[in-house]
Amino acid sequence: MEKLTNKEEEIMHILWKLKKAFVKEILAEITEENLHYNTVSTIVRNLEDKGYVSHQAFGKTHQYFPMVTKEVFKKQFMNTATQKFFDNSYKSMVSYFAKEEKISAEELREILELIEKKG
């Protein structure tokens, strides 16, 4: 799976939310002001070239929809982040969040319960 730019990722989140959309509908969801229609159209076509998005033609206009689910993207994103920043160790990743106080002891207990239920 090819890496996405921040703006491509933002547009993917919009498409996951809307399920299918024309460029004008995507543009309406973008928080950044002053982003031009043609810019969004180019980004969506780049996403299509990368295999993340496809379209259905309606005359000269296209309605875009995701080809990659949010879950598949999330899994790939987390695997890549874990490899790059935590030497492929989920233990190191969770430890990092605990040290940075981004996860509480209660949340860690909940995670342990989930793991134990699967085992």
59-89 pLDDT, tens per residue? Answer: 999 999 999 999 999 999 999 999 999 999 9
Flag whether pLDDT at 21 surpasses 70: yes
Phi-psi region of 34 (alpha: psi -120 to 50; beta: other; left: phi over 0): left
- The domain segmentation of the chain, as residue ranges, is 6-66, 89-118
Across-strand partners of 61?
58
Is residue 74 exposed (0-12), middle (13-18) or buried (19+ Cβ within 10 Å)?
Answer: exposed
Q: What is the pLDDT of residue 34?
A: 81
Strands (E) across 1-119 are located at 21-22, 53-58, 61-66
Q: Quick one: pLDDT band at residue 98, thresholds 50, 70, 90? A: confident
Tokens of residue 31, six digits: 């928080």
pTM of the model as a whole:
0.82
What pLDDT digit, counting tens, does each position of 26-63 carry? 999 998 778 899 999 999 999 999 999 999 999 999 99
Q: Spell out the CATH class of 6-66.
A: mainly alpha
Query: How many helices and strands, by DSSP H and E, does the chain display?
Result: 6, 3
Q: What is the pLDDT of residue 40?
A: 96
